[in-house]
Structure 1
């Protein structure tokens, strides 16, 4: 018995290290990409409140579109991981090419939507005219970058599936490195350069106009294309991708392969879009509760979202590990990999809670000096410590199920858990209350709704993963082969 436990512990340690080796670069890349958003907000906010509002409102529209594209293209990752694990590398290249064709189409459609369909949305949201005009121009600039970021995400999904996650980190840092100086130059113009470098700035550069929010959009598009080109060059020249020769010839569009990618990826894209819109809708509903509540909600959500990057990265790495072992024809090991990944994510969630407990006060004080905002934000972070566990578990269960190519159930569970239970119960508790039980709880009600939705999601995804992993391991269910 003791020997068996020792072997299990050793096996778990080895698998956990392999998972973390994949996850850590992904986490760094996620943080770098978040840094671009933070940079946009800080730099545009120093121009004017109108520019800040334009960038904030515009970001709330293009980010969900980009995340939908990202989720849809993630469908390539388990396909590549399974083909690599099954030593069928010659099949990888055609699938990557189909993902590239698909990414071009998605990027162009997203760009056109940002270019032509924004004004009605702004009018529906009752956005002030000056903010609407400025945000429309900002989004028109971002629109040019959408095909680039879509191509980048397709190549990233391929690289991750090949167990090669480090390029994602380095290229995200390149994107951040381009975003910051481009933002400064285009947002503040020549006057900003003079303020930074003094009289040594050449006359030609001094004449550059300060574009404000529009400059921020141009800088974002430049960063998107820079990341795309960097990933393209890396996948072309690096030897890390072994026998896959991606750029020698280009496979023509093939409907059957593209449908397989959409069959796996589209439910992921919808699920991510649903999750993003849940938080967006809650932010809009909380907006009616006053400035103090809105500020505290945003501070608590922003801080906890940063810590959530590691569980999210583990989920993306777990998709690769499950796909690799499944492709190698080792379903029993795949089952172990999936559940060991959940054990690791549980430990990470508990670690995040310890970090929240120890650092919440000082960190919240960095966001704001308002005592009322601080007190409310700290109480919301206490609630966040409850859902950290369920949120981490549910996102990693979804990651494992993606490795099994079982994605439609994720979409169904997400719709039920997030919108019906999370948003529905949150709005009931936050704005209406339960007759004879409690009055409206305000922002606390919405956060309790989040806890309920994420907990139900974790329970349902856990049930599904248990069923799928067991049936695949005992041979009563076959995972579709690419």
Structure 2
């Protein structure tokens, strides 16, 4: 990364960082996207099973990965402050934390999963698919978490094209494995939704192997000597990673688990509603990769500028990022409304599922504007290493406001399952507004520091 001086240079720098991140996020999400899409075209009950399984896997995996994303601002600020010698130890300690967290999650899952699923009001085959989908995909937990650390290191250096390259290499393999294992082609067993979990786990291992090779053999990563030595675990470094990462991870967990909780609440409305809800949620989450990628780019750029004590530049990046997110989101929201029929037909051949999916997508279109404001602000605050208020506001806006309103609307009005979506839209809007005020406060504090230094 380089220092920028004009708005035009900053927009160019943001684009250089953002575009590869977006391609990477879309490719990573495409694994889940194709899991849902290809399973939906197999059988509706398998789609429902994968939906229930995903409702547990996604918030847990993204939440824990969120803790490990603390490596990005840590490394970005070290690079900005010209402390490159400290980068290797931070990355390796992050890997140690990743392995520890992965093992912990697998043990807890093994002890609690059967009980949780047995208490849900699910058809027997849906429960079976959900359980073995989760068991299958958990095989990829360790490589997924380690790769999150390595990707955070790569991205913090501004080499987001490398992450893009790694992910794009693995995506076709994931789709091919899905095809073979879901439908039982070329002599492979026909496993349905369970096969998609196995395919994803294999893909996570592949991504890790590729990332290790590139970091160990290619420039500029080789100059950091990440794998040249393996120091002992450092309690001090673990504390830094976890204290910074825990609010990030919990914020992501809260945001993703709210959607998963809605999926579980919707089990009372039947398999068809669950399938349609999951299809609509899957596609709107796919679009969410745009503001999320802007958010991740802002964490890198703002962290780099803050580390170099160029606070005015950090502020400029935040405004450019939020403005870009809103503009893009308006376009995607309009397209989503127009193309609802075509999108719905992608996910199922069942006419009842298609009709319900179209209605859910109409609500999903209104997610876009709040997401476009909320995500970039979160990324900017992480660049400043300001993460605790984001976590608190996530709890308030989603769990204290959004979900209760959704539950009331779904169970006490004629809106039915759509009430949950309206409640989430309200929660997103409140979160966006409150974090906008928080960002202004943080930027004012750093501006005062800059004035005192000059």
Q: TM-score, normalised by structure 2?
A: 0.90
Q: Which runs of 5+ in 1 are unaligned?
A: 1-9, 194-205, 433-438
Alpha-carbon spacing, 1:302–1:185, altered in 2? closer, same or farther (3 Å)? closer
Aligned position for 2:52: 57
Aligned position for 2:389: 409
- Mapped to 2, the partners of 1:477 and 1:416 lie a distance apart of 34
| Superposition RMSD in Å | 2.7
Deviation at 1:13, TM superposition (A): 2.8
Aligned position for 1:395: 375
- Mapped to 1, the partners of 2:155 and 2:117 lie a distance apart of 37
Instruction: Give 1:473's match in structure 2, choosing from 443, 447, 450.
Output: 447
Question: Which segment drifts farther, 173-182 or 103-112?
Answer: 173-182
The answer on whether the counterparts of 1:332 and 1:473 sit within 8 Å (CA) in structure 2 is: yes
Alpha-carbon spacing, 1:296–1:457, altered in 2? closer, same or farther (3 Å)? same
Deviation at 1:300, TM superposition (A): 3.6
- Mapped to 2, the partners of 1:43 and 1:373 lie a distance apart of 15
Question: Which segment drifts farther, 129-138 or 95-104?
Answer: 129-138
- Mapped to 2, the partners of 1:42 and 1:225 lie a distance apart of 22
- Mapped to 1, the partners of 2:111 and 2:169 lie a distance apart of 30
Map residues 34-433 of structure 1 onto 2, 5 A cutoff: 34-44=29-39, 51-189=46-184, 192-193=185-186, 206=187, 209-241=189-221, 243-289=223-269, 294=274, 296-367=276-347, 377-378=357-358, 380-432=360-412
- Mapped to 2, the partners of 1:381 and 1:300 lie a distance apart of 5
Question: Which segment drifts farther, 439-448 or 462-471?
Answer: 439-448
The answer on whether the counterparts of 1:77 and 1:161 sit within 8 Å (CA) in structure 2 is: yes
Aligned residues: 448
The answer on whether the counterparts of 2:405 and 2:423 sit within 8 Å (CA) in structure 1 is: yes
- Mapped to 2, the partners of 1:364 and 1:408 lie a distance apart of 38
Q: TM-score, normalised by structure 1?
A: 0.85
Deviation at 1:221, TM superposition (A): 1.8
Deviation at 1:137, TM superposition (A): 3.6
Aligned position for 2:429: 455
The structure, 1 or 2, with the larger RCO (C-alpha pairs under 8 Å, 6+ apart) is 2
Structure index of larger Rg? 1
- Mapped to 1, the partners of 2:43 and 2:347 lie a distance apart of 19
* Structure 1 SS opposite 2:224: coil
Q: Which runs of 5+ in 2 are unaligned?
A: none
* Structure 2 SS opposite 1:308: helix
The answer on whether the counterparts of 1:164 and 1:240 sit within 8 Å (CA) in structure 2 is: no
The answer on whether the counterparts of 2:36 and 2:282 sit within 8 Å (CA) in structure 1 is: no
Question: Which segment drifts farther, 383-392 or 253-262?
Answer: 383-392
The answer on whether the counterparts of 1:300 and 1:381 sit within 8 Å (CA) in structure 2 is: yes
Aligned position for 1:435: none
Deviation at 1:249, TM superposition (A): 1.2
Alpha-carbon spacing, 1:216–1:386, altered in 2? closer, same or farther (3 Å)? closer
